A and B are shown apart, each in its own frame.
Chain A
Amino acid sequence: MSEIIKDGQVVSDEWVVFNLSPDQQPNDVEIPEGNVIVPLQVWKSQHALLSVRNNVGVWLASDERAEELAADVAALKVVAIHFPKFSDGRGYSIAYNLRSRLGYQGELRAIGDVLRDQLFYMQRVGFNAFATRADRNIHDAVKGLSDFSTSYQASIDQKSPLFRRVERRAA
């Protein structure tokens, strides 16, 4: 079983990410049993079937919007956001919207081109799970979560900016 980083620890991954192959249709593709994270299109077109299973998560592509899951966030245990390239930053705003606008509380997982040097920022915008790229050492990657011990701005991990959290005085 593969490993992911979750809540700062390397743990075994209990979910399988399901991808549609080009010859499959979202509305009639058969979704395997067990814990599975399906593409948004599949989730939407098989909603009645999948939403009662209680072991199905959803993943969003970088050009999809968090609001698509507005009605589902309370029930979902896992939402994943796909990074096609580590340099494609749309996923950070999707994560922010899911946590902040929709109040999503479950596992928020980064999948795709997920690398150590982006983990700190990802954690700040609300990701708490990271399926780092399989060709890299996941135990090294964990270190990326603690690059900084403080930050100036508010985001999901820190609801207040530095100037509201501490009393700042001249050096």
Chain B
Amino acid sequence: MYRYDQHDHLIIKERIAQYRDQVRRRLADELTEEEFLPLRLQNGLYMQRHAYMLRIAVPYGMLSSDQLRKFAFIAKNFDKGYGHFTTRQNIQFNWITLEQTPEILEHLASVEMHAIQTSGNCMRNITSDEFAGVAPDEIIDTRPYAEILRQWTTFHPEFAYLPRKFKIAINGSKEDRAAIAVHDIGLTVVYNASGEVGFQVMVGGGMGRTPILGSVIREFLPWQHVITYLEAILRIYNEYGRRDNKYKARIKILVKALGAEQFARQVEEEWADLKDGPGTVTEAEFNRIAAYFTSPQYQNLSEQDSDYLSHLAQNKAFSNWVRRNVKPHKVAGYRSVLLSLKKPGVPPGDATAEQMEFIAGLADQYSFGELRITHEQNLVLADVRLTDLYPLWEAAKAQGLATPNIGLLTDMICCPGGDFCSLANAKSIPIALEITERFDNLDYLHDIGELELNISGCINACGHHHVGNIGILGVDKDGSEWYQVSIGGAQGINSAIGKIIGPSFAAAQMPEVIERLIKVYLAQRFEDEKFIETVQRIGINPFKEFVYATPISDTVLQGEDEYV
């Protein structure tokens, strides 16, 4: 993975000094809260319901075991012993005090990490495929490009006060695991007909109040031009993006207002005199950065192993886990392993300090000391030998990290919701926990098969509810919490925005609502048909009719009533 040189270290060191002084001036009242707000946001510090939340950048989701140990250290010493992995491949800590943030940044810097631009109206941390470099369906490794863009976006002087936040994602595989269609800019690294590398450029995707998939504005941009072309997009957005209404300020609204073709023309015009300028990426710079992303020292292994096969045949729990949580690898005899952070009874994406330390140990022992964070809020050990799968499973299981539910209904994406976030209309974690409890039978869960269930506590859609096969959105009605349900959303290369099935529900009704949706699917599905495919084939009406056919109790049984 990328390592800092003296220049990266210097920039981070100067940043800490700058931020430390900003905190001092805020505490001395030399800065008003209004003035301090964007400064701390651009350092990932966000005021929540109970305390400050600090969001730390994990560039394109890649992490070393030492960095993960540092998160454990921060969780233990500055928080309540746990952290929350986010849908943008970052980590956030929920119980931080302002005075301690400069010190936390010092600790992060010691492992080449920071919290720069993880919030605020600026270019955010760049996200990518969690299987970059190891996926069998990968066409081009995205990581060197993601790092080039990380450096370009960091402290960009012209684009620090944009109309609204700005998110860039990069994919380089046949499948799209980076959800590029719902980003402000979605890049796909591709080969053109003559075998040259470049990007297909998509702009204007997003979720929130106006969910919309991005539009392709350029089919092929030679890779050398990625910085200057993005500069052109950002300048147009900075100049013409709406600033009068924060709900209409994202680039998607501008692209929609102008039309994608007109927007593309303006970008080309803006780009004309930037093209081939100093921002053009050199071969030497690409090579320097790409050298950090070479493959680890893989062994020459057989694609089969008799011990592994016999465990698989004899141990159903192990084979269930392999089926769901183990992914193919481009190198023979290796696999990628997903450690599920979606254990029943635990908020999705949360990990304790002890778990983090333990996972760091697993990474050192089994996967070259590296990890990745997925936007579905799980962790990946990307380079595990086939022969190590069984001992790894046993170890992970003992720490509650081997729930065999990757891609299943209980592998939900869920925002922190009303328990933490001051923007939320409704709680999301308790809904996730109750649904998980309802679907605690693993055989049933595996029979239902692949299903993305996403929950957001408000219209900002941090839980990606629009692209969930089942999406749940917390809404406020007369001061109480209600949940709107949509189905048919999808992420990946066939991205789609879900459709709302009808009036919203009370929290206590939600497990039954999901149960009814599943019943319709099970009754209607063809063999091997996934939930999303059934929805696409029969439409939302059969689901809607069944869910609303008879009343669903909205009272939670209290105390001994529960046993009646």
Q: B152-196, CB under 8 A of A: which get 1 and which 0?
A: 101111111111000000000000000000000000000000000
Q: B189-226, CB under 8 A of A: which get 1 and which 0?
A: 00000000000000000000000000000000000000
A16-B224 Cα distance, complex, nearest whole Å: 46
Which of A4-12, A73-81, A154-162 has 4 or more CB atoms under 8 Å from chain B? Answer: A154-162
State whether B11 touches A152 (Cβ < 8 A). Answer: yes
Cβ–Cβ < 8 Å partners of A88 in chain B = 161, 243
B265-285 with Cβ < 8 A to chain A: 273, 277-279, 281-282, 284-285
User: Does B330 sit within 8 A of A, measured CB to CB?
Assistant: no
Cβ–Cβ < 8 Å partners of A153 in chain B = 151-152, 156-157, 227, 279
User: Does A24 sit within 8 A of B, measured CB to CB?
Assistant: no
Which of B38, B243, B278, B291 contacts A160 (CB under 8 A)? B278
A75-129 with Cβ < 8 A to chain B: 86-90, 92-94, 96, 101, 115, 117-118, 120-122, 124-125
Cβ–Cβ < 8 Å partners of B154 in chain A = 152
Range, interface on chain B: 35 or more
User: Does B5 sit within 8 A of A, measured CB to CB?
Assistant: yes
Cβ–Cβ < 8 Å partners of B159 in chain A = 89, 92
Which of A93, A155, A170 contacts B238 (CB under 8 A)? A93
Q: With A92-B158, A171-B9 in contact, is A87–B3 under 8 Å at CB?
A: no
A161-B38 Cα distance, complex, nearest whole Å: 26
User: Does B14 sit within 8 A of A, measured CB to CB?
Assistant: yes
Cβ–Cβ < 8 Å partners of B39 in chain A = 117
User: Does A147 sit within 8 A of B, measured CB to CB?
Assistant: yes
User: Does A2 sit within 8 A of B, measured CB to CB?
Assistant: no
State whether A125 touches B9 (Cβ < 8 A). Answer: no
State whether A117 touches B35 (Cβ < 8 A). Answer: yes
Closest to B148 in A: A163
Cβ–Cβ < 8 Å partners of B14 in chain A = 147-149
User: Does B519 sit within 8 A of A, measured CB to CB?
Assistant: no
CB of A14 to closest CB in B, whole Å:
27
CB of B228 to closest CB in A, whole Å:
9
CB of A162 to closest CB in B, whole Å:
6
Which of B155, B238, B273, B288 contacts A168 (CB under 8 A)? B288
User: Does A164 sit within 8 A of B, measured CB to CB?
Assistant: yes
CB of A124 to closest CB in B, whole Å:
4
Q: With A150-B10, A153-B152, A164-B282 in contact, is A115–B4 under 8 Å at CB?
A: no
User: Does B18 sit within 8 A of A, measured CB to CB?
Assistant: yes
State whether B5 touches A92 (Cβ < 8 A). Answer: no
Q: With A148-B18, A171-B5 in contact, is A89–B162 under 8 Å at CB?
A: yes
Cβ–Cβ < 8 Å partners of B10 in chain A = 149-150
The prevalent SS among residues of A at the interface is loop
CB of A28 to closest CB in B, whole Å:
31
State whether B157 touches A155 (Cβ < 8 A). Answer: yes
CB of B143 to closest CB in A, whole Å:
16
User: Does B316 sit within 8 A of A, measured CB to CB?
Assistant: no
Taking each of B7, B154, B160, which has the highest tally of chain A beta carbons within 10 Å of its own beta carbon?
A: B7
A151-B154 Cα distance, complex, nearest whole Å: 9
Cβ–Cβ < 8 Å partners of B288 in chain A = 163, 168-169
A88-B273 Cα distance, complex, nearest whole Å: 26
State whether B158 touches A152 (Cβ < 8 A). Answer: no
A125-B234 Cα distance, complex, nearest whole Å: 14
User: Does A166 sit within 8 A of B, measured CB to CB?
Assistant: yes
State whether B157 touches A90 (Cβ < 8 A). Answer: no
Cβ–Cβ < 8 Å partners of A170 in chain B = 3, 5, 291-292
State whether B5 touches A125 (Cβ < 8 A). Answer: no
CB of A61 to closest CB in B, whole Å:
13
Q: With A90-B238, A163-B285, A171-B4 in contact, is A148–B158 under 8 Å at CB?
A: no
Cβ–Cβ < 8 Å partners of A171 in chain B = 3-6, 9
Q: With A153-B152, A171-B3 in contact, is A163–B273 under 8 Å at CB?
A: no
Which of A65, A96, A121 contacts B160 (CB under 8 A)? A121
Cβ–Cβ < 8 Å partners of A149 in chain B = 10, 14
A169-B154 Cα distance, complex, nearest whole Å: 19
State whether B158 touches A93 (Cβ < 8 A). Answer: yes
Cβ–Cβ < 8 Å partners of A101 in chain B = 273
CB of A60 to closest CB in B, whole Å:
12
Cβ–Cβ < 8 Å partners of A148 in chain B = 11, 14-15, 18, 155
User: Does B22 sit within 8 A of A, measured CB to CB?
Assistant: yes
Cβ–Cβ < 8 Å partners of B15 in chain A = 148
State whether A96 touches B158 (Cβ < 8 A). Answer: yes
Q: With A87-B38, A168-B288, A171-B9 in contact, is A152–B155 under 8 Å at CB?
A: yes
Closest to A160 in B: B278
User: Does B121 sit within 8 A of A, measured CB to CB?
Assistant: yes
Known contacts A117-B22, A121-B158; 19 additional CB pairs below 8 A are A89-B121, A89-B238, A92-B157, A115-B35, A121-B155, A124-B157, A140-B30, A147-B14, A147-B18, A150-B11, A152-B152, A152-B154, A153-B152, A155-B157, A161-B227, A166-B7, A168-B285, A171-B3, A171-B9
12 pairs, A vs B, C-beta closer than 8 Å: A90-B239, A121-B157, A148-B14, A149-B10, A154-B277, A155-B158, A159-B278, A161-B152, A161-B278, A161-B279, A164-B278, A170-B5
Q: Lowest 10 CB-CB distances: which A-B pairs, in order?
A: A89-B161, A124-B157, A121-B157, A163-B285, A152-B151, A92-B158, A147-B18, A160-B278, A154-B278, A171-B5
